């Protein structure tokens, strides 16, 4: 069986950046299970997995345009502290749900100076070339329920 549209695919992966630093990994925990073709993973990785089989191992280099997009300076804004109503302490690294130019999203506080808070609406991995070491551990046909809901069902799923 090969990775194809609407298949439930399980992978183990390690994600690194240009410097070789590990950003994320499934090694030592459960495999990542996703529904292929539903946009559950970044486009570049999904494309690289298409047609692969259980046991296949691959190293994939993904450009920002096929991952989290280019870094957009327009998504960095300085806003007044008073916009964080009810939050007494605002620190660099804090994240908040907010409306960004593309709709609902997450912003990260990147600077606090007096009453000015600088937020960044870019994904933390925007603008970065990503490197994945991947092993495909399982492939199966998705159930009708999974296809209807657009994601794989498993442990902890409330459907």
State the pTM of this model: 0.82
Is the pLDDT at 158 greater than 60, yes or no?
Answer: no
The count of other CB atoms within 10 Å of the CB of residue 81 is 14
**pLDDT classification of 156: cutoffs 50, 70, 90:** very low
3-state percent helix, strand, coil for the chain, nearest multiple of 5:
15, 40, 45
pLDDT on residue 105? 83
**For the chain, what are the domain ranges?**
7-68+126-149, 73-120
Q: 41 falls in which pLDDT band (50, 70, 90)?
A: very high
- pLDDT at residue 58 tops 50: yes
Task: Please state which CATH class domain 7-68+126-149 belongs to.
Answer: alpha beta
Confidence of residue 19 (pLDDT cuts 50, 70, 90): very high
* Nearest Cα to Cα of residue 60 among 136, 132, 3, 135: 132
**Three-state secondary structure readout of 128-158:** CCEEEEEEEEEEEECCHHHHHHCCCCCCCCC
Question: What is the CATH T-level fold of the domain 73-120, as seen in this structure?
Answer: Thrombin, subunit H (2.40.10)
């Amino acid at each position: 069986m090969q990775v194809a549209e609407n298949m439930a695919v399980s992978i183990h992966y390690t994600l690194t950046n240009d410097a070789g630093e590990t950003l994320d990994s499934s090694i030592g925990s459960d495999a990542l299970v996703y529904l292929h073709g539903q946009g559950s993973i970044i486009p570049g990785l999904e494309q690289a997995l298409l047609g692969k089989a259980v046991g296949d191992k691959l190293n994939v280099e993904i450009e920002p345009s096929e991952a989290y997009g280019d870094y957009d300076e327009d998504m960095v804004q300085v806003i007044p502290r008073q916009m964080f109503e009810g939050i007494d302490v605002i620190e660099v690294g804090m994240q908040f749900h907010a409306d960004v130019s593309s709709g609902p999203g997450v912003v990260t506080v990147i600077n606090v100076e007096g009453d000015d808070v600088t937020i960044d609406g870019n994904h933390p991995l925007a603008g970065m070339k990503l490197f994945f070491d991947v092993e495909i551990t399982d492939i199966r046909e998705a159930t009708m329920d999974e296809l209807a809901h657009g994601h794989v069902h498993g442990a902890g799923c409330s459907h």
